Amino acid sequence: MTWLVVGLLSLVVLAVAAFPFFRRPKTAPAASDPIRELRAQRQAVYRDVQGMYNDWVVGQVTEADYQRRLQEYRMQAALLLQEEQRLLDVAHRLEQEVLERRGKRGAKAARCANCSRPLATGVTRCPACGAQVAEASVG
Ligand SMILES: [Zn+2]
């Protein structure tokens, strides 16, 4: 009986200890989202700039070094921002395209010219009022 309790307890302890390791993949979705990844990188650059500024304030970095590195950081951030913007543009364009296609498909889902009820594709007569379906609204 005691054995069983000890065994169960150690299992519970093990599960609790191992839990964070199993959870880790869930908390790192950045790799699957390049835009978010770029944003994180840019924020890291800003943090570096802040850190360097703090170093400069307390005199650990010379004015010349500060200016030179600031220039580098600016370039880095600008490139990251540019790439981020480009990806956002692509994502936006794709979204737009999907919406357009969806809209076209929506337009094809014809309505009866007589009673304006929605018609299934391919029908020649409106099932509600029996009106002939116009050629253009089929398919
Ligand atoms: Zn009809």
Q: How many angstroms does the Cα of residue 111 sit away from the middle of ligand 1?
A: 8
- 92 and 42 in one domain? yes
Q: How many angstroms does the Cα of residue 119 sit away from the middle of ligand 1?
A: 8
Spatial contact of 71 and 78, defined as CB atoms under 8 Å apart? no
- 93 and 59 in one domain? yes
Q: How many angstroms does the Cα of residue 137 sit away from the middle of ligand 1?
A: 12
Q: What range defines the domain where residue 116 resides?
A: 110-139
Q: How many angstroms does the Cα of residue 99 sit away from the middle of ligand 1?
A: 28
Q: What's the pLDDT score for residue 33?
A: 87
Q: How many angstroms does the Cα of residue 133 sit away from the middle of ligand 1?
A: 8
Cα 4 to Cα 7: distance, rounded to the nearest angstrom? 5
- 95 and 115 in one domain? no
- 72 and 59 in one domain? yes
| Overall average pLDDT of the 41-46 stretch | 95
pLDDT per residue over 61-120, tens digit each? 999 999 999 999 999 999 999 999 999 999 888 888 888 777 766 555 678 889 988 888
- 69 and 125 in one domain? no
Q: What's the pLDDT score for residue 67?
A: 95
Q: How many angstroms does the Cα of residue 107 sit away from the middle of ligand 1?
A: 17
Count: domains in the chain: 2
> Has residue 136 got a pLDDT over 60?
no
- 90 and 124 in one domain? no
Cα 103 to Cα 95: distance, rounded to the nearest angstrom? 12
pLDDT-based confidence at 137, cuts 50/70/90?
very low
Q: Please name the residues in contact with 127: beta carbons below 8 A apart, sequence gap of 6 or more.
A: 119, 120
